[in-house]
A and B are shown apart, each in its own frame.
Chain A
Amino acid sequence: MRLTDDERAMLDGKGGQAVQKAMELLVRYGEALGAERFVDTNNVAGVPGSSTLFLKKYYEQHAGNGGYEAIYSLYDLDADQIMSVPKANTYCCHLQGGMDPENWAELGMSEEAHQHFQEDEAQVAARGIQILKTCTPYLAGNVPAKGEHCAWMESSAVVFCNSVIGARTNTEGRESTSAATLTGKIPDWGFHRDESRRGTHRIEVHVPVESVLDWGMLGYFIGYAVEENIPVITGALSQSNLIRHKHFGAAAASSGGVEMYHIVGVTPEAATLEMAMGPSRPAATIPYGPAERRAIYDRLNSVGRDPNVDYVMLGCPHYSIEQMAEAARLLAGKKIRSGCHLWIFTSRSVKGMADRNGYTKAIQDAGGLVMTDTCSAISRAVPKGTKVVALDSAKQTHYLPAMANVEAWFGTTEDCIQAALTGRWNGELK
């Protein structure tokens, strides 16, 4: 890689040992990619230095130290020695973590794990890293500008950042974001470059796609259809808004590896089909009609058999304030069926708003729990004895059944809340 003077200085140790090791890791990573240079970034979203008890105990046993700086050094920076870790040199936020700061016992977490979580959070705060603790940083205090170079983790946030905002990030990982936090550098590769942001595959939508459910299903279909390519979507999509893009992108990033999409006339780099595609022709044109819609619904519901639902999980990606209001409205004055659990996940920022507007209370009065920071897939936590889950997120439906060994139903938010109230799944494709 060709390095600038400041990059060379970091690599030579002028910024201290942790910065040096961070730069070394970024060079190994950049060379693995085939990148020629770095780009400056002042917007990093990761999970710097945070760890599970497993990692802490692993390093206690193998390195004699499982503290924050040990894990940041040995794991995040993949170094072979423990170093002092300085404050962040960039604007950096912490994404979702493993437990709710208040309802951790409900999630089945131990006192020891909670204490470790608190210690990590204090270390993160001491380094000037913003504690957003969400998969939706763009709803909680980090909204990049169009064209801004970012280094973000979290596939659903990455696809939103590139596609809806028009900022620029690859799907970074834990180690690259932790290194970028200290250096302000990330390989100039992929979505940082104009030529890598243009569409590759065309999707023609022939069936009305209006509801959040339909946007999620289309995203899930497209992920399988294009894998990690860049779809350009034309046709019968309507009611574009934040929630729909959030569910669409999260789904497409899960079934495939979609990191950017264009919707002609909607997203910022797709005013026209020509602008979205650039000079190249689509590698394939893929139709999405009633048959494809039915097939993707059936695929999402292929791990549901028993109609008796014992857990309803909402908030993947973390619910927006509008979705909190919707859940509260559907639950107002009602009670969740005995033996059934409803957990709704969001960010601390959005929960603060939901508290003020009375939505949290309405959900709690119905017997539901509002949790922050995490979700069932991330924390691998479902209510004890759960066999059958109801979900309104294609992404969570993709991951949770395999991770928690449960059956799952996929439907609308209303289908899910009805399941929580009655204990029965009655969702169907309308």
Chain B
Amino acid sequence: MTAETIVLRGRKVVGGCAEGEALVTRETISGWGGIDPMTGTVIETHHELRGVSFKDKVLVFPGAKGSSGWSNAFHMTRLTNSAPKAMVFNIINTKIALGAVVTRAPAVTDLDQDPLTVIETGDWVKVDGDRGVVEVTKRQHPAARRESAS
């Protein structure tokens, strides 16, 4: 049984390598006031990931929004062991650049394919921050995907 593997290439934001299960959202994420840094859970009222934790996931998202406390909130997740394993995102800004640096999680942006389209929640994702490479192994069974969504 061979799994489908897709390779995306972009640029380093933070170096290092990590891998894990993807958590994908098409909505930007607020740091301060948008997540609970004690558990890594999204708490923003109208957010599609409300109540979902990114702890130990590879977080795939458009980018950061909201308060200047973004870096502080994600920095705190490193202290509480609730940080994402890696970050893959589309739009660079100061919040996410600083946040990714102090979270010390490998991070990549400016990819040659849209990670929000290619990667689905539950896919296995390897991030090589230094080379700017993201390797995606698709989940194999639609049944398993349904199970994880329930």
Which residues in A have some Cβ–Cβ distance to B below 8 Å?
A: 25, 28-29, 32-34, 55, 58, 75, 78, 152-155, 158, 170-176, 187, 189-190, 227-228, 253-254, 256-257, 303, 377, 398-399, 401-403
> Are A28 and B101 in touch, CB under 8 angstroms?
yes
Which of A78, A256, A401 meets B65, CB within 8 Å? A256
Asked if residues A257 and B100 are in contact (CB atoms below 8 Å), the reply is no
Q: Mark B51-92, 1 if CB is under 8 A from A, else 0.
A: 000000000000111111111100100010000000000011
Query: Which B residues have a C-beta under 8 Å from some C-beta of A?
Result: 11, 13-14, 28, 33, 43-45, 63-72, 75, 79, 91-95, 97-102, 104, 107
Contact call B100/A32, Cβ cutoff below 8 A: yes
Which residue of B14, B69, B91, B93 contacts A174 across the interface (Cβ within 8 Å)?
Answer: B69
Q: Cβ of A155: which chain B residues have Cβ within 8 Å of it?
A: 66-68
**Residues of chain A contacted by B98 (CB below 8 angstroms):** 29, 32, 172-173, 175-176
Contact of B45 among A170, A172, A227, A303 (CB under 8 A): A303
Alpha-carbon distance A424/B71, docked complex (angstroms): 39
Distance between A217 CB and nearest chain B CB, rounded to angstroms: 16
Contact A227/B94 with A155-B67, A402-B43 known, Cβ cut-off 8 Å: no
Assuming A173-B69, A174-B71, A227-B28, is B93 touching A190 (CB within 8 A)?
yes
State the 4 A-B residue pairs at the shortest beta-carbon distance, nearest first: A173-B71, A257-B65, A32-B97, A153-B68
Pick from A34, A171, A172: contact of B92, CB under 8 Å: A34
Q: Which residue of A lies closest to B64 (CB)?
A: A257
Contact B94 A228 (CB under 8 A): no
A402 and B99 contacting across the interface, CB-CB below 8 Å:
no
CB distance from B83 to the nearest CB of A (A): 13
Binding site of B, secondary structure by majority: helix, strand, loop or mixed?
mixed
Q: How far is the CB of B64 from chain A (nearest CB, A)?
A: 7
Contacts of A398 in B (CB 8 A): 33, 45
For residue A35, which residue of chain B has the nearest CB?
B97
Select B101's contact among A78, A154, A171, A254, beta carbons within 8 Å.
A78
A228: B residues at CB distance < 8 A: 28, 63, 65, 91, 93
A175/B102 in contact, CB under 8 A: yes
Closest residue of B by beta carbon distance from A77: B102
Question: What are 17 A-B contacts defined by CB distance under 8 Å?
Answer: A29-B97, A32-B97, A33-B92, A34-B11, A58-B79, A155-B66, A155-B67, A171-B94, A171-B95, A172-B68, A173-B102, A175-B72, A176-B98, A227-B65, A254-B66, A377-B33, A398-B33
CA distance A333 to B97 in the complex (A): 52
